Amino acid sequence: MSNGFLVFCVSVLGIGHGNKLLTDLYNCHLTKVYTVGGLLGKATDDFSDTGKLVEKTTFDHITREKLERILAVIQGTNHKALLMHSNIDMKTQEAYELAVKGLIRPMGKSPPIITAIRCLQFALPEFQLEVHCLHETQQYLRKIVHEIGLELKSSAVCTQVRRIRDGVFTLDDALLRTQWNLQSIQNAIWDCQLKVKTELEKTLGHQDKIHLHKMDVEMAHAADS
């Protein structure tokens, strides 16, 4: 794993009328996905591997199975929080239909919530996680690694955070620095237009048709900007 700390590979930007769509996307409370690196055996003041060293601990007793048990507990706890902040009666037909469509999300701004977490790599003292989350912050992701270390009766610091998905946008949609030109940006807008519209209609479909029509107009303007 590379040393360093933060690498945001998928960042969503709006241009012209597209800025209005960013608000709609934010109100959808879509999941972001990260790969998060961890290093066992030490703790720092800011939970990163570049922070001031606080203590060193042993880690030889830790196995992948023990780590995965901790991850299962974290996911279960966060699932309960997701249901609580969604303000949905889970005994209703509406709840069932939303669950089938994967649309159970917080009704408003909530604390950070992990919707899924799994171990991608494990080779002592390092490990790598895939974290699906909502309303997260940089500090929150680092602290998760720290708390995992404590639960494993050791300590851990975060070595890297890489965002590989932001809602409907993935690494495949990202533009390289060498592609930051008008033609590439216009092509990217057109390529993403359908899946953005589909996601907004799916999530905001319960709202009136006037709102969705305005959204269509904004998307057309954004593509022509």
Residue with the bigger pLDDT between 25 and 60: it is: 60
What the block records as the tokens of 90 is 């889970």
Task: Output the CA angle 192-194-199, nearest 5 degrees.
Answer: 95
pTM above 0.85, yes or no: no
Residues 36-56: tens digit of each pLDDT:
999 999 999 999 999 999 999
Helices 209-224 and 18-27 cross at an angle (nearest 10°) of 140
Residue with the bigger pLDDT between 186 and 16: it is: 186
Measure Cα distances from 40 to 126, 150, 158 in Å.
6, 10, 9
Helices (H), 28-137: 64-86, 93-101
So what's the pLDDT on residue 204? 65
Q: Label residue 117 exposed, middle or buried (CB < 10 Å: 0-12, 13-18, 19+).
A: buried
Residue 4 DSSP one-character state? S
For a pLDDT cut of 70, what percent of the chain falls above it?
A: 78
**Lowest mean pLDDT segment, chosen from 75-79, 101-105, 161-165, 217-221:** 217-221
Residues 169-178: tens digit of each pLDDT:
888 888 888 8
So what's the pLDDT on residue 85? 80
So what's the pLDDT on residue 56? 98
Map residue 190 onto helix, strand or coil. helix
So what's the pLDDT on residue 206? 46
